[in-house]
Amino acid sequence: GVKKKIGMLPGDGIGPEVVAEARKVLDAVAERFGHTFEYAYGDVGAVAIDNSGDPLPDHTLKICEESDAFLFGAIGHPKYDNDPSAKVRPEQGLLKLRKSLGLFANIRPVTAYDSLIHMSPLKTEKVLGVDLVVYRELTGGIYFGEKGRTKDGAYDHCTYENFEVDRIAHLAFQAAQHRSKKVTLVDKANVLETSRLWRERVTLIANEYPEIELDCMFVDNAAMQMIQNPKHFDVILTENMFGDIISDEASVIGGSLGLLPSASVGDKTAMFEPIHGSYPQAAGKNIANPLATILSAAMMLDHLGLVNEAIEVRNAVNSSLKIGMVTEDLSKKEGYGTDRVGDFIANCIA
């Protein structure tokens, strides 16, 4: 067995409940495969502001820095919803985590599960067979450029350097080698200079992967094609702001946000996070769907090189879907509690 340090950042809303279920699953994996997972818990988001005035306390950042990987629940609380100008806000914790830890690539697979296709807002023939992954640049662009006010206005600077484009482009092309060998670069190269830079660099890098087809698409067109013809996409590569929009758009086509995991990787540690939010209305009710967090834990296992372990977790999730051992959001009947679903999956593995 191996020994790994795993950070746990449950965060706000349903975060603690879904992270608790993923923990059960990780414990079952450790037990079954003889690994040792050392966990360290830290506050982040609104709960961290409440406890210490800081959405990302130093203690939490240190846990992450020292981890081989960490799981992140969700952040956000309604009390911050109406004032995006507030000095201290939960999402600053997330942005600072990304930047401080150099988590430059956000990886978001979107798979349409056959058994959930009836829940998709799209017609079945559009969404059946969708299997794509977004590689979103996460530490550059307009998110982290200089920003401020002038006498009568405001500004945000979007900048990209070659190396920032290159490193995530390589990840996307490498991923494409194990998939259907196609990368779609999403940009706005007919208007933006940063997008022209992306296109140049990515076209250069594509030469190093002669078996991969590179397809370039303007972001407005991509927003249309994602609805009109989502099967067009396999690996999507894009900058930070476009990735935020396109990956969220993609996330609803499968029918349930409750199943979508994500990874944010850098050169050192990596973060794994369900893409749903803190969903405060559901907090404390034992109704939150833990599957996206459990699948995020599976991505974490893959990242740690524990590939068979990840397969076990995914198989267990598929079993829970097959027999209907799922929470109410996925169920035609009453639905099971968050904890029951987690127990079932952990038991499948044990």
Ligand X SMILES: CC(C)[C@H](C(=O)O)[C@@H](O)C(=O)O
Q: Which residues bind ligand X (CB under 6 A)?
A: 91, 94-95, 190-191, 220, 244
Q: What angle do CA 307, 310, 313 make, to 5 degrees?
A: 155
Distance separating alpha carbons of residues 278 and 17, to the nearest angstrom: 10
Interface with a copy of itself, residue 292, by CB under 8 A? no
Interface with a copy of itself, residue 72, by CB under 8 A? no
Give the residue with the Cβ less far from a copy of itself, 220 or 267. Answer: 220
* Site map 194..233 versus a copy of itself, x via CB under 8 A: xxxx-xx------------------xxx-xx-xxx-----
Check if the beta carbon of residue 310 is closer than 8 Å to that of residue 328: no
Contact stretch for a copy of itself (CB under 8 A) within 51-59, 187-195, 287-295, 304-312: 187-195
143 is catalytic: yes
Is residue 98 a known part of a binding site?
yes
CA-to-CA dists, residue 58 to 55, 65, 96, 145, 318, angstroms? 10, 10, 11, 23, 38
Q: Is 94 exposed, middle or buried (0-12, 13-18, 19+ CB in 10 A)?
A: buried
244 is catalytic: yes
HSE-CB at 139 with a 13 A cutoff on CA atoms is: 20
Count of residues in the chain = 350
Listed residue (335, 342, 273) closest to 15, CA to CA: 273
Q: Is 125 exposed, middle or buried (0-12, 13-18, 19+ CB in 10 A)?
A: exposed
CB of 99 to a copy of itself, least distance (A): 12
248 is catalytic: yes
Give the residue with the Cβ less far from ligand X, 215 or 244. Answer: 244
Contact stretch for a copy of itself (CB under 8 A) within 7-15, 30-38, 162-170, 291-299: 162-170
Listed residue (175, 171, 201, 181) closest to 189, CA to CA: 201
CB of 94 to ligand X, least distance (A): 6
C-beta nearest to ligand X: residue: 91
Distance separating alpha carbons of residues 337 and 348, to the nearest angstrom: 17
Give the residue with the Cβ less far from ligand X, 94 or 117. Answer: 94
Give the CA-trace dihedral at 168, 174, 177, 180, to 10 degrees: -20
Is residue 136 a known part of a binding site?
yes
Check if the beta carbon of residue 258 is closer than 8 Å to that of residue 291: yes
CB of 283 to ligand X, least distance (A): 18
Interface with a copy of itself, residue 114, by CB under 8 A? no
Taking CB within 5 to 8 Å according to partner kind, which of a copy of itself, ligand X, none is near residue 108? Answer: none
Interface with a copy of itself, residue 166, by CB under 8 A? no
Give the residue with the Cβ less far from ligand X, 156 or 220. Answer: 220
Is residue 108 a known part of a binding site?
yes
Give the residue with the Cβ less far from ligand X, 208 or 220. Answer: 220
Q: What angle do CA 25, 254, 78 make, to 5 degrees?
A: 70
CA-to-CA dists, residue 156 to 150, 159, 251, angstroms? 11, 10, 27
- Sequential DSSP letters for 52-78: HS-SS-HHHHHHHHH-SEEEEEE---G
Taking CB within 5 to 8 Å according to partner kind, which of ligand X, a copy of itself, none is near residue 332? Answer: none
Q: Given the residues 50, 58, 114, 220, select the one marked as catalytic.
A: 220
Q: Given the residues 4, 68, 188, 234, select the one marked as catalytic.
A: 188
CB of 181 to a copy of itself, least distance (A): 20
CB of 122 to a copy of itself, least distance (A): 6
Q: Which residues are annotated as a binding site for substrate?
A: 98, 108, 136, 220
Catalytic residue IDs: 143, 188, 220, 244, 248
Q: Would you tell me which residues interact with a copy of itself (CB under 8 A)?
A: 84-85, 89, 91, 95, 120-123, 126, 142-143, 145, 147-150, 152-164, 188-197, 199-200, 219-221, 223-224, 226-228, 241-242, 244-249, 251-253
